[in-house]
């Protein structure tokens, strides 16, 4: 019995040595999670995915990016790390400076305006591919959609929000539209000016109200202060409009229950970025972040193989989604028949508010 136990222990020890070895672990990671972060010493390319906060659009884009790499011909040759600064801009800037100094990554994949702007301002020695940037021109990231003339490129759609609002207008013919926006946000303020022009052209009444996320001295507002300002802004706009558009924002996503409560209180139909479709907007219309992440991966592969970022145009994001939530419509007593033209064009129809 003792001999059998000794033999068994030796076999277990031998198997542990094999399967816990770094090389075997790397191979297993490549097989089971081929596009997820690995520390394989034999990875040919190293990519850092960079974001300044947790946000549904970034999550979708990152998943799409990993899938795009997994579907490419460099599958298993790439190590991808993800860094989230958790809204701390000082930490984000420090991380980017450290990346520049160490120069240990072959490419940066940036998600959102904040991380992309910081990275492009500081780093010129590493290629950068971005997505989920509402207005890269207005943000000062690029000046020419066809070529940045630098180490930066990405996947975006010029005037993407305006295109979505125009589609909804053509289907529903609203006469008064409202938004609340974040003052100081390049993408939100770009959308504001675009909607103003669109409403003026079509004779639509446009009601808007904005607030900042910071105090006069630059300090961030508390969560309670942000929620107070958001609720006040919604109660200012919603009584005056027959449709409300909700822009993409991590702050809005985190506090979407305030939007939902206000829509119900004022019985106002809503539409906006698709990330809110499960949270309580009636129509989600906008870019498909997952698909944009996949396209960003295609650009990353081309760059890693030698194509200069400046040779890749940035206005190539074309995949739009139209989603409908029937419970959200019922919440504001909107006649489902009025949604039929939109539902006929929808990619998916949701029955419930689930988040």
What pLDDT shows up at residue 164?
Answer: 85
Residue 225 pLDDT grade (very low, low, confident, very high; cuts 50, 70, 90):
very high
Q: Give the whole-angstrom CA distance, residue 323 versus residue 246.
A: 14
What pLDDT shows up at residue 22?
Answer: 45
Helices (H), the chain: 2-19, 22-32, 56-70, 89-102, 113-122, 160-172, 186-202, 223-237, 250-254, 256-266, 289-304, 326-331, 336-343
What pLDDT shows up at residue 149?
Answer: 93
What pLDDT shows up at residue 98?
Answer: 97
pLDDT digits (tens, 9 = 90+) for 13-63: 443 443 444 444 444 444 443 334 444 556 899 999 999 999 999 999 999
Q: Where are the beta strands (DSSP E) in 112-156?
A: 128-131, 152-154
DSSP secondary structure code for residue 246 in this structure: E
Residue 163 pLDDT grade (very low, low, confident, very high; cuts 50, 70, 90):
confident
Residue 229 pLDDT grade (very low, low, confident, very high; cuts 50, 70, 90):
very high
Q: Which fold has domain 160-288+320-350?
A: Rossmann fold (3.40.50)
Specify the residue for token string 């009025």: 338
Q: Which of 199-208, 252-261, 315-324 has the lowest mean pLDDT?
A: 315-324
Cβ distance 284 to 277 under 8 Å?
A: yes
Residue 95 pLDDT grade (very low, low, confident, very high; cuts 50, 70, 90):
very high
Helix axes 2-19, 22-32, angle to 10 degrees: 70
pLDDT of 168 over the 90 cut: no
Q: Where are the domains of the chain?
A: 28-157+290-311, 160-288+320-350
Which one, of 262, 253, 187, 266, lies nearest residue 232 by Cα?
A: 262
What pLDDT shows up at residue 30?
Answer: 41
pLDDT of 135 over the 90 cut: no
pLDDT digits (tens, 9 = 90+) for 271-318: 999 999 999 999 999 889 999 999 999 999 999 999 999 999 998 877
Q: Which CATH number fits domain 28-157+290-311: 3.40.50.2300, 3.10.20.810, 3.30.420.40, 3.40.50.720?
A: 3.40.50.2300
What pLDDT shows up at residue 1?
Answer: 46
Residues in the chain, overall count: 355
Is-same-fold flag (28-157+290-311; 160-288+320-350)?
Answer: yes
Q: Give the whole-angstrom CA distance, residue 137 versus residue 134.
A: 9
pTM for this entry: 0.80
pLDDT digits (tens, 9 = 90+) for 230-252: 999 999 999 999 999 999 999 99
């Amino acid at each position: 019995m003792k001999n059998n136990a000794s033999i068994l222990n030796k076999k277990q020890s031998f198997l542990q040595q094999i399967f816990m070895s770094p090389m075997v672990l790397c191979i297993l990671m490549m097989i089971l999670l081929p596009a997820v972060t690995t520390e394989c010493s034999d990875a040919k390319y190293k990519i850092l995915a960079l974001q300044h906060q947790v946000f549904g659009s970034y999550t979708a884009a990152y998943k799409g990016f990993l899938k795009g790499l997994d579907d490419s011909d460099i599958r298993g040759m790439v190590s991808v790390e993800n860094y989230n600064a958790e809204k701390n801009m000082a930490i984000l800037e420090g991380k980017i400076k450290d990346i520049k100094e160490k120069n240990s990554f072959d490419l940066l994949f940036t998600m959102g305006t904040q991380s992309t702007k910081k990275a492009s301002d500081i780093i010129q020695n590493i290629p950068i591919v971005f997505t989920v940037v509402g207005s890269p021109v207005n943000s000062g990231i690029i000046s020419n959609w066809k070529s940045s003339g630098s180490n930066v490129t990405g996947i975006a759609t010029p005037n993407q929000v305006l295109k979505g609002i125009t589609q909804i207008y053509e289907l529903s013919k609203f006469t008064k539209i409202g938004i609340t926006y974040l003052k100081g946000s390049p993408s939100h303020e770009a959308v504001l000016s675009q909607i103003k022009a669109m409403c003026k052209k079509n004779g639509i009444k446009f009601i808007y109200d904005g607030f900042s996320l910071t105090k006069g001295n630059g300090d961030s507002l508390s969560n309670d202060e942000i929620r107070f300002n958001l609720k006040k802004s919604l109660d200012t706009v919603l009584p005056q409009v027959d449709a409300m558009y909700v822009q993409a924002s991590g702050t809005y996503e985190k506090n979407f229950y305030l939007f939902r409560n206000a829509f119900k209180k004022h019985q106002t139909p809503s539409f906006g970025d698709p990330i809110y479709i499960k949270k309580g907007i009636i129509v989600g219309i906008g870019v498909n972040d997952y698909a944009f992440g996949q396209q960003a991966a295609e650009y990353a592969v081309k760059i890693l193989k030698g194509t200069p970022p400046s040779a890749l145009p940035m206005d190539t994001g074309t995949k739009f989604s139209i989603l409908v939530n029937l419970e959200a419509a019922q919440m504001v007593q909107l006649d489902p028949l009025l949604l039929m033209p939109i539902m006929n064009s929808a990619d998916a129809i949701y029955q419930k508010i689930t988040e």
